[in-house]
Amino acid sequence: MVLRIFGVSFFVTVLALVIAAIYGGPEAVFLVAILSILEISLSFDNAVINATVLQRMSEFWQKIFLTIGIVIAVFGMRLVFPLVIVWVAAGLGPVEAMNLALNPPADGAAAFPDGSPSYETILTDAHPQIAAFGGMFLLMLFLNFIFSSREITWLGWIERPLAKIGKLDQLEVVVAGALLLVTAGFLADDENRATVMVAGVAGLILYIAVNGLGELFNLPEEGEEAEPSRGPSNLAKATGKAGFFLFLYLEVLDASFSFDGVIGAFAITSDPIIIALGLGFVGAMFVRSITVFLVRKGTLSDYVYLEHGAHWAIGALAVILLVSIGVHVNELITGLVGIALIGAAFISSVIRNRKAGDGDDDALVEELRTVVVG
């Protein structure tokens, strides 16, 4: 099963490294490898959340997400998105933006001799708006989860009280709005304060819109009673319009997760081709493969705390994105926080299963080790 699921990802990895070698030699190969590791480490929580949603989609929409969705993830977010930011911020056309990206200033300077900013500088300057948008979208996802009542809790001492106060209508919107005001007021500088507010509100509105559309077209299957839904991830075997909006939700979610990776990549290189190869071709493909692995193995059903850990990791990432508007946060911290939370949730699930007499844990641990080590 491992080879069948991850085979395409391994092939794409080899292909990307070959292209990198032809494009820029050994240095490019090294940079692509580093970026691939960065993307996978930052996006493991993304894969877990994707799996929770994907397992509730029909087979048709699962295939759409794993085919068309990967094209959007690879080319849309990892290549086109940074260029669009430069087009908008600098008022350049597509060709000029690409030329600017492929021809950076000498010696890694932030500007050209004539004083015009580099591609990397333009994109970095847009970070506050990007972080506000992505941070608010992910924060709403986390708050919707944590304010919902559920039979199984991981950190019960905090999840149960939060679920009780979550009965207050629209509490997640109030909390998210308050955090946005605090962020814009204390972390954003005067020049970016208004744009941070606008971008944050846009992220909040987009989540509410996609969530509402998902619930609108979420019809219970015959013989089943409709259950209250606190987010698109609660849709079950969605088809038709429900499947489409769930697919849309996953793409926006993937975009929100990729913001920190795309911005963080510029600390390593500003070359859009290398970034696309490392983050997109290799990183995004492995995230998709991990997602499929979790769905096919039924891992989220067997290890019930993984979803909780992933949502807590999302909450941490949302806070980090908002904090990064005013304070630089090392990408290593972002990746380690997510891995630590999901790892703790996995260990808690293993302990829970062993107490219940489930003996499948060792087999899954060995299979996961095989995937990681190769």
119-171 pLDDT tens trace: 778 877 888 888 898 889 889 989 999 998 888 899 889 999 999 998 888 89
Does residue 371 carry a pLDDT above 70?
no
Q: Tell me which residue of 41, 64, 27, 95 sits closest to 283, measured CA to CA.
A: 41
Helix/strand/coil percent split, the chain, to 5: 75, 0, 20
* Mean pLDDT computed over 103-114: 72
246-292 pLDDT tens trace: 788 788 777 777 766 776 676 677 677 888 888 888 888 888 888 88
* Mean pLDDT computed over 220-249: 56
294-350 pLDDT tens trace: 888 878 788 889 889 988 988 998 899 899 898 888 777 777 888 888 889 999 998
Per-residue pLDDT at 220: 44
pLDDT band at 227 (very low <50, low <70, confident <90, very high): very low
- Residue 85, class by beta-carbon neighbours within 10 Å (0-12 exposed, 13-18 middle, 19+ buried)? buried
Q: Are 197 and 184 in contact (CB under 8 A)?
A: yes
Does residue 109 carry a pLDDT above 50?
yes
HSE value, Cβ hemisphere, 13 Å, CA-based, for 238: 31
